[in-house]
Amino acid sequence: MTDGLPIKKRKELYSDPFLRVAEQTFEHEGDEYRYFIKEEPEFAVVGAVTDDNQIIMVRQFRPGPRRFLFDLPGGMVEEGDSPLETACKELLEETGYSAEDIEFVASAYPMAYTTAKKHIFVATGCTKVKGHEDEPNMIAEPVLLSFTEFGDMVAQGNVLDLDAMMVLAQRLNIQISFSASQDA
């Protein structure tokens, strides 16, 4: 048994510079299976910590949920760049911080209906070297959080990319106490 199946048919339904949506049909054991797939590039995120144990986050307006959420610095891996280069570049661009040390932790697919693969890094010894860069169509600002504030923010669900934040919490020995309430 192989890990993948070849695409039998593909029809592009939508395309812009950041996203393509395609209808893809696969065949397995004589049956056809049709899916709608977001064809997206790989991306890298970085959990970053300053020398005085502050976690560097990005508070950003997210149009889907229609609210500001906290996220890790990160972005798409551009052609010719490695995930590590992307993590370093995005940390600097989005926050103005540079890392003394950055370590690869894991890669994973964020959901079943995308081609994107997420690469997670942890950066330590981060120092401010410049101001963050404003990007078109992005309302965002860097924010520093204590370990306690970070744990509370994650537990309250005010985040994107929960799995990457849980990896960061595990690496930093931050305990997160989730409530049994579902008042979301």
Give the integer Cα–Cα distance in Å for 94 and 75.
Answer: 10
Numbered ranges of CATH 3.90.79.10 in the chain: 43-171
pTM of the model: 0.87
Which parts of the chain have pLDDT scores under 50? 1, 184
% of the chain beyond a pLDDT of 70: 96
Which pLDDT score, from 0 to 100, does residue 45 have?
Answer: 96
Check residue 180 and give its pLDDT: 63
pLDDT at 1: 40
The pLDDT value given to residue 158: 86
CATH superfamily, region 43-171: Nucleoside Triphosphate Pyrophosphohydrolase (3.90.79.10)
Look at residue 183 in the predicted model and tell me its pLDDT: 54
Strands (E) across the chain are located at 7-16, 19-28, 31-39, 43-50, 55-62, 67-71, 74-76, 97-98, 101-108, 118-128, 140-145
